[in-house]
Amino acid sequence: MKKIIFFFTIITAGILTSGYVLQHTGRDAINRVSTTCEDWGFVGHRLLNRYAVFTLPPEMMVFYKKNIEHITEHAVDPDKRRYATKHEAPRHYIDIDHWGEYPYDNIPRRWTPALAKFTDVFLVTTQNDTLQLFGNEVSKMDKYKMILYGEGIQKIFAKDSVIIYNEPYNKFVRTSIEPQVFREDHTLNGEALLELFAHETPQIEVAGAFFEDQLSKYGIIPWHLQAMQRKLTQAFADKNAARILQLSADFGHYVGDAHVPLHTTTNYNGQLTNQLGIHAFWESRVLELFNEEYDTFVGKADYIDYPEDYAWEVILASHVLVDSVLNVEKRLVRDFPKDRQMCFEERLERTIHTQCEEFARVFDQEMNGMVEQRFTAAIHALGSLWYTAWVDAGQPNLNKIGLNKKEKEAQSEEEKELEKAVKGGKIFGRQH
Ligand SMILES: [Zn+2]
């Protein structure tokens, strides 16, 4: 309540620009819209994209404000895309604890070395034997080289282990595996693979090869943030208004997800600790109830020197909060009066069963405002990443760019396709 009063005091003091007023009225509109949506997470994503616009410098603000409805509406496109392709879901999370322990130095921070380390690669012999050559379970990697061992290596080279340097293998990964990761066809050139071992003598005749992508199974959000940064920078350099808008909106979605602790753990919905439903409780219910009290004046966007490292900082900052999210909820469910935890609420024509407001309030307070902190951190992060992409592209003049008729038509075609996929009804991969 204090913050709302603070908000209106500022408005009446006349300090605010029209932008901030729009920001506030926008919030009301979004909260109204939300009641028609299936997923409460929609509210957060839409608000996040909208607020981030107000962190931008004037040269960018002109363009983003003109298109603020588009950026707001399309904040949830990536969630819709999960209905269209199985490759979408892993972009929204990482089960980082699957791979080791904090601070997870064993996970390569860049995409190519990460693929090199965690992708299983198999040779198929002319005898039709399948032998594993590369993979996290059959290798040890340091800064410069990999030691490969295991049954496959034994059969291929008649040795317990062989060494391969990272550089030539990374090159192979970049040219042969990377372009195929998100395609159906995972076959590789077996001869080319064996050529990487020029100093060894293979004991088998190779008929073929293929790979199995392990990274996508556990989520790829940090690397996807890096990829989005590169793409958006390119779109600015090309002064391609349609791409800038689409990528900015999408980027907002992934930046939002990256700020949610439960998007960084194997126990993403409390399913391993008997806390099912905690995911939506944290990211949707609490935010939906209390976002109007949040202090969303996060200041100006900052230039980020190393966006690739920054993506990982965000993920790790989310991940260190996982335990406290789970612990607080566990304790509350145990101690809070049982009959006041879940309530029925009317939403338009429907009745829904959800956490009671009072219970959600206590959850929020016990976490010391974590939801607000992560949400406002996400606003600032998103504005800063947009701004960084624009600066890195040479600060192109955005005053004169816009969508021509053909681009607008293409855009609405795409929207229709997406809606069709959603109506088709089945998400590929997990719900969260
Ligand atoms: Zn998502």
pLDDT at 419 exceeding the cut of 70: yes
What is the sign of the dihedral through the CA atoms of 191, 106, 264 and 56?
negative
What is the sign of the dihedral through the CA atoms of 43, 252, 54 and 241?
negative
List Cβ neighbours of 188 (8 Å cut-off, separation of 6 or more).
121, 176, 177, 208, 209, 210, 211
Question: Per the structure, how many domains does the chain have?
Answer: 2
Model pLDDT, residue 407? 78
Ligand 1 centre distance from Cα of residue 158 (Å): 47
CB atoms within 10 A of CB 113: 17
Ligand 1 centre distance from Cα of residue 253 (Å): 6
Ligand 1 centre distance from Cα of residue 78 (Å): 6
Ligand 1 centre distance from Cα of residue 166 (Å): 33
Is residue 231, in this structure, part of any structural domain at all? yes
Looking up tokens 């200041």 gives 299
Ligand 1 centre distance from Cα of residue 240 (Å): 25
pLDDT at 6 exceeding the cut of 50: no
Ligand 1 centre distance from Cα of residue 122 (Å): 33
Ligand 1 centre distance from Cα of residue 194 (Å): 40
What are 91-119's pLDDT values in tens digits? Answer: 999 999 999 999 999 999 999 999 999 99
Say whether both 336 and 210 belong to one domain.
no
User: Residue 9: exposed, middle, or buried by beta-carbon count in 10 A (0-12, 13-18, 19+)?
Assistant: exposed
CB under 8 A, 24+ apart: contacts of 400-407:
401/63, 401/239, 401/240, 401/241, 401/244, 402/241, 403/241, 403/242, 403/245, 407/241, 407/242
Residues in the chain: 432
Say whether both 48 and 117 belong to one domain.
no
Say whether both 232 and 380 belong to one domain.
yes
Counting residues of the chain whose pLDDT is more than 70, the rounded percentage is 90
SS (H, E, C) 386-419: HHHHHHHCCCCCCCCCCCCHHHHHHHHHHHHHHH
Instruction: Specify the higher pLDDT residue, 2 or 338.
Output: 338
Which residue among 164, 193, 216 closes a domain? 216
Say whether both 316 and 387 belong to one domain.
yes
Ligand 1 centre distance from Cα of residue 89 (Å): 8
Which residue among 194, 216, 238 closes a domain? 216
Is residue 258, in this structure, part of any structural domain at all? yes
Ligand 1 centre distance from Cα of residue 428 (Å): 13
8 A C-beta contact, residue 428 and residue 85: yes
What is the sign of the dihedral through the CA atoms of 222, 224, 225 and 227?
positive
Ligand 1 centre distance from Cα of residue 257 (Å): 5
Ligand 1 centre distance from Cα of residue 150 (Å): 38
Ligand 1 centre distance from Cα of residue 171 (Å): 32
Three-state DSSP state, 109: coil
Alpha-helical runs (H) found in 203-306: 221-237, 241-258, 278-280, 286-290
What are 139-165's pLDDT values in tens digits? Answer: 999 989 999 999 999 999 999 999 999
Ligand 1 centre distance from Cα of residue 79 (Å): 5
Say whether both 240 and 389 belong to one domain.
yes
List Cβ neighbours of 112 (8 Å cut-off, separation of 6 or more).
170, 173, 174, 178
Which residue among 166, 200, 216 closes a domain? 216
Reported as a pLDDT band with limits 50, 70 and 90, residue 24 is very low
Q: Which of 22-31, 66-75, 337-346, 387-396 has the lowest mean pLDDT?
A: 22-31
CATH number of the domain within which 27 lies: 1.10.575.10
Reported as a pLDDT band with limits 50, 70 and 90, residue 32 is very low
Domain with 316, as residue range(s), is 2-95+219-424
Ligand 1 centre distance from Cα of residue 252 (Å): 10
Phi first, then psi: give them for residue 158, nearest 5 degrees: 55, 40
Say whether both 201 and 319 belong to one domain.
no
Q: How far is CA 245 from CA 47, 74, 132, 226, 236, in A?
A: 16, 9, 44, 18, 10
Ligand 1 centre distance from Cα of residue 16 (Å): 32
Counting residues of the chain whose pLDDT is more than 90, the rounded percentage is 78
What are 66-93's pLDDT values in tens digits? Answer: 999 999 999 999 989 988 889 999 999 9
Q: Are strands 130-134 and 120-125 parallel, antiparallel or unpaired?
A: antiparallel
Ligand 1 centre distance from Cα of residue 331 (Å): 28
Is residue 133, in this structure, part of any structural domain at all? yes
Average pLDDT over every residue of 169-188:
96
Is residue 100, in this structure, part of any structural domain at all? no
What are 274-328's pLDDT values in tens digits? Answer: 999 999 999 999 999 999 999 999 999 999 999 999 999 999 999 999 999 999 9
Say whether both 172 and 239 belong to one domain.
no
What are 314-326's pLDDT values in tens digits? Answer: 999 999 999 999 9
Average pLDDT over every residue of 8-35:
37
Ligand 1 centre distance from Cα of residue 248 (Å): 15
8 A C-beta contact, residue 365 and residue 286: no
Say whether both 261 and 287 belong to one domain.
yes
Q: How many angstroms separate the CA atoms of 237 and 165, rounded? A: 36
Model pLDDT, residue 5? 36
Ligand 1 centre distance from Cα of residue 86 (Å): 13
Reported as a pLDDT band with limits 50, 70 and 90, residue 199 is confident
Q: Which amino acid is at 315?
A: I
Say whether both 36 and 130 belong to one domain.
no
What are 368-380's pLDDT values in tens digits? Answer: 999 999 999 999 9
Model pLDDT, residue 432? 58
What is the sign of the dihedral through the CA atoms of 260, 320, 325 and 426?
positive
Element (H, E) at 77: helix 77-81
